[in-house]
Amino acid sequence: MTSASLLYPMGYDLDESTTYADARGATIEGSRNALAVDVESNRLIVRVEGEAPKWLANAIAQVQKIMHLKPGWDSYDSLPPDPKAARAALLYLGQIMHEKMRCPAIVPMSSGNIQLEWHASGVDIEIEVGPEGPVFASIEDLNGAVDQSGPIRPGSKLLNQVAGLLPLSA
Amino acid sequence: MSEDRSSAGDLVALPELIDDDEIWRRIPPEKVIFDESRNVFRPSKDSFNDHPNGTPMSAFLAKVCKDPLLAVHDHEDFALVGVRIKVLREKKLEIVAAPKPDLPPGHVHVVGSKTDSVRKALAKNFRWIIDPPDHVKSEAKKKALGK
């Protein structure tokens, strides 16, 4: 079991041996390792069943950095990143990422939401994630073959397209 | 020539603007991204949005501000981008004077709808006036490559 306690507001606990069937946050299962993310007492707790995928440590490190941003961090009255949006972003990544996929750049937005960005292999993919999950997606192919963007609704085809276009690790 | 009232209520005039004039916008280090497909560093599209409180996007008019260092004064590791007035006009964005006593000269608001396509256009049609510091670029590249 790997665990670490990090300074507020971000902490993580990567558990490689325990099953969290009763995770308080959403739990993702299936062909991928189960991943649970909770916001507890101003900490974000990440738990994974089985071996943690490589992208997860990278994603956690990025989230950890941005969660320290204070109000006004962009010099234009920005809000600090919302821990619930960070939780939702990690859970969404848990749904779409496979072991060999490339971790996105995790970019804080002025609104407090989180943007996941991939700009590689000739494709631009940007997913805005709010406290409840993805709210906007944009996919653009450099060749012009694909150029779609729009708000995310339940069962959105746009969101389903993302998983098939994600670049592999460099 | 456009006109607007400043926060002090004075009538403020903008100089006449041609397509090649520019606005300058600060970019925080967290919004510098590396685009591997194009092999360039650029600002994330969220860099070109209104304030969360609804105030239109702030910027500096280059021909009035004149000194890029003034625009990033006291903002460590921030970069500065320039966007041509032509790009703003093509996206139906309007420049309105918004002088404030505590800000460098040339403070303006960029008024108009910042849809996804508008923000994307601004994020791809810019030039660096002050480059991001090397350590910021290095971090952005590391993130983009998933390392």
Asked if pLDDT for residue A18 goes beyond 80, the answer is: no
Q: Give the pair of three-digit tokens for residue A11.
A: 């902490």
Please state, rounded to an integer, the average pLDDT across all residues of chain B.
92
The tally of domains found in chain B comes to 1
More confident residue, B108 or A150: B108
- Say which residue the tokens 């505590």 belong to: B102
> pLDDT per residue over A43-95, tens digit each?
888 888 878 888 998 999 999 999 999 999 999 999 999 999 999 999 999 88
Across the interface, whether the CB atoms of B144 and A169 are under 8 A apart is answered: no
Show Cβ contacts of residue A93 under 8 Å, excluding neighbours closer than 6 positions: A55, A56, A59, A103, A104, A116
- Sorted by where each begins, the domain ranges of chain A are 54-165
pLDDT at A78: 96
Using an 8 Å CB-CB cutoff, list chain A residues near B53. Answer: 77
Count how many pairs of residues, chain A against chain B, have C-beta atoms within 8 Å: 89
Asked if pLDDT for residue A132 goes beyond 80, the answer is: yes
More confident residue, A10 or B53: B53
Question: A115 by DSSP, 3-state: which?
Answer: strand
DSSP class of residue A17? S
Q: Å from A22 to nearest chain B CA?
A: 31
pLDDT at A3: 37
Q: B-contacting residues of A 119-148, CB under 8 Å? A: 119-124, 126, 136, 138, 140, 142
Using an 8 Å CB-CB cutoff, list chain B residues near A152. Answer: none
Is B22 inside a domain boundary? yes
pLDDT at A169: 83
Across the interface, whether the CB atoms of A169 and B146 are under 8 A apart is answered: yes
Provide the CB-side half-sphere exposure for B134 (13 A, CA). 0
The residue type found at B29 is P
Q: Is A161 on the interface with B (CB under 8 A)?
A: no
DSSP class of residue A80? P
More confident residue, A129 or A17: A129
Is B145 inside a domain boundary? no
Is B58 inside a domain boundary? yes
pLDDT at A159: 75
Q: B-contacting residues of A 16-75, CB under 8 Å? A: 55, 58, 62, 66, 69, 73-75
Residues A89 and A47 sit within 8 Å (Cβ to Cβ): no
Cα A140 from Cα B38, distance rounded (Å): 13
Cα A90 from Cα A158, distance rounded (Å): 19
Least confident span in A80-84, A138-142, B62-66, B74-78: A138-142
Asked if pLDDT for residue A161 goes beyond 80, the answer is: no
A105: nearest CB among B78, B117, B144: B144
- Please state, for a pLDDT cut of 90, what percent of chain A lies above it: 43
Q: Give the pair of three-digit tokens for residue A66.
A: 């941005």
> pLDDT per residue over B3-29, tens digit each?
444 444 445 678 899 999 999 999 999
Across the interface, whether the CB atoms of A170 and B116 are under 8 A apart is answered: no
pLDDT at B6: 46
Across the interface, whether the CB atoms of A77 and B52 are under 8 A apart is answered: yes
Which helix (H) or strand (E) segment holds residue B33: the answer is: strand B32-35
B66: alpha, beta or left, given left = phi > 0 and alpha = psi -120 to 50? left
Asked if pLDDT for residue A27 goes beyond 50, the answer is: no
pLDDT at B27: 98
Which helix (H) or strand (E) segment holds residue B58: the answer is: strand B57-61
List the domain range (segments joined by +) for residue B73: 3-132
Asked if pLDDT for residue A37 goes beyond 60, the answer is: yes
ipTM score assigned to the predicted complex: 0.89
> pLDDT per residue over B109-130, tens digit each?
999 999 999 999 999 999 999 9
Across the interface, whether the CB atoms of A138 and B26 are under 8 A apart is answered: no
Please state, rounded to an integer, the average pLDDT across all residues of chain A.
79
B75: nearest CB among A66, A75, A140: A75
Average pLDDT over residues A93-105: 89
Q: Is A105 on the interface with B (CB under 8 A)?
A: yes
Peptide bond into A9 cis (omega under 30): yes
Q: Å from A18 to nearest chain B CA?
A: 27
